Amino acid sequence: MSAIIKTGICSFGLSGKVFHAPFIHAHPGFELTGIVERHNNDSKAKYPQAKVFRSVEELCADKNIELVIVNTPGYLHFEHAKAALLAGKNILVEKPFTISVKEAEELIELAEKQKLQITIYQNRRYDGDYRAVKNIIEKKLLGELRFVEVNYNRFRPKYGGKPHKEGDLPGAGNLYDLSPHMVDQVLQLFGWPMAIFADIWKMRDDVIAPDYFNLIFYYEKLRVHLSATSISREPTWGYILHGMKGSFLQKRSDLQEEQLTAGAVPSMSDWCQVPRKTDGILHTEINGKVIRKETTMTPGNYMGLFDDLYKFLTGQGKNPVLPEDGLKTVKIIEAAFQSANAGKIISL
């Protein structure tokens, strides 16, 4: 791998414009070499040095490109990731890794055979709100945890017009769109659960794919609930933790996506603003004294993922998000559908 990693992006929709191109362009270790735009040339305004390709196949055929970012709709991830691997490229794959466990396992096997690397794009590990929760858990400020809620509620009462998100295409629906973030975080914090129960439902009349889910992860002495809905006008707590000594509540208040959408330029330094007001509550007992205080998270930085990826690909660090982590989230999704369809707890 060269010192400057020539990188291609498979799509220039929201994902490409907001979550990938700005970071590849700003990081000194990457070169934004190519972008797939099937019909337009929108990327030329900001990234004139990047060649526009009309298909993923054209991009993969470019011998200069060493890393391909697979950020097309989820149902195309397997096809495009496989094409990139067969073309000799390392890949960074958006969530969900694939639509099925079988597809994920085939890609991992192919990468090993080709001696190439797969990294899963789990940027939410680098959110400030998640890291605030992780910090509380690592410091054991709540005593032994017994109950945790992770919520991802939004207000989008009408169909958004994307069939791969809310239509009848494979991988549509919030379980594929939102749960990979939440499942990955819970597995990072608490490990693999003993069992799962799932309620999956379609709340809105004008969408086809399920837009609501509630998952229960069963651990020996802990229950974790993960839920998402598209009809929550009033913001709710993103994380609720209850332990034997205290509780911690944390809002989803990371502003990176909002500021990137508005045109902010990311960097290695703290480019993202802190929340506009306090966004958490810690109520616990420390050294025999009960305390209750409002907290404010430290801003996250998605550039950390790209920097960790650069170090990994150049032999200076470990893979920031293993392909096996992506496989685990797909296994959970498949088990969730199995549970919902059968109406019973599924042992893992």
The pLDDT assigned to 164 comes to 87
Q: Are 135 and 295 in contact (CB under 8 A)?
A: no
Start-end of CATH 3.30.360.10 domains in the chain: 125-300+331-347
Stated pTM of the model: 0.95
Report how far residue 335's alpha carbon sits from residue 337's, in angstroms, rounded to the nearest whole number: 6
Report how far residue 70's alpha carbon sits from residue 81's, in angstroms, rounded to the nearest whole number: 6
Taking only the tens place, the pLDDT of each residue in 170-216 is: 999 999 999 999 999 999 999 999 999 999 999 998 899 999 999 99
* 323: three-class secondary structure by DSSP: helix
What mean pLDDT comes out for the span 66-94? 98
The pLDDT assigned to 161 comes to 81
Taking only the tens place, the pLDDT of each residue in 129-153 is: 999 999 999 999 999 999 999 999 9
Start-end of CATH 3.40.50.720 domains in the chain: 5-121
Sequence-ordered alpha helix ranges (H) in the chain: 14, 21-26, 56-61, 77-86, 101-114, 128-138, 163-166, 174-177, 179-190, 256-261, 303-313, 323-342
> Per residue in 178-217, is it b (16+ CB within 10 Å) or e — as a string?
bbbbbbbbbbebeeebeebbbebeeebeebebbbbbbbbb
Put the strands of the sheet holding 237-243 in their side by side order.
289-295, 280-286, 247-251, 237-243, 145-153, 222-229, 212-219, 195-201, 346-347
User: Which one, of 64, 93, 51, lies nearest residue 76 by Cα?
Assistant: 93
The pLDDT assigned to 2 comes to 73
Q: Are 230 and 209 in contact (CB under 8 A)?
A: no
Homologous superfamily of the 125-300+331-347 domain (CATH):
Dihydrodipicolinate Reductase; domain 2 (3.30.360.10)
The pLDDT assigned to 311 comes to 98
The pLDDT assigned to 1 comes to 67
Higher local confidence (pLDDT), 157 or 18: 18
* 148 C-beta neighbours (distance < 10 Å), count: 24
The pLDDT assigned to 276 comes to 85
What is the pLDDT confidence band of residue 157, given thresholds at 50, 70 and 90?
Answer: confident
CATH class of the 5-121 domain in this structure: alpha beta
CA atoms within 13 A on the CB side of 192: 12
pLDDT of residue 168 exceeding 90: no
Taking only the tens place, the pLDDT of each residue in 290-314 is: 999 999 999 999 999 999 999 999 9
Whether residue 96 is preceded by a cis peptide bond, meaning omega within 30 degrees of 0, is yes
What mean pLDDT comes out for the span 282-286? 97
What is the average pLDDT value for the chain, to the nearest integer? 96
Taking only the tens place, the pLDDT of each residue in 8-66 is: 999 999 999 999 999 999 999 999 999 999 999 999 999 999 999 999 999 999 999 99
pLDDT of residue 227 exceeding 70: yes
Report how far residue 234's alpha carbon sits from residue 232's, in angstroms, rounded to the nearest whole number: 5
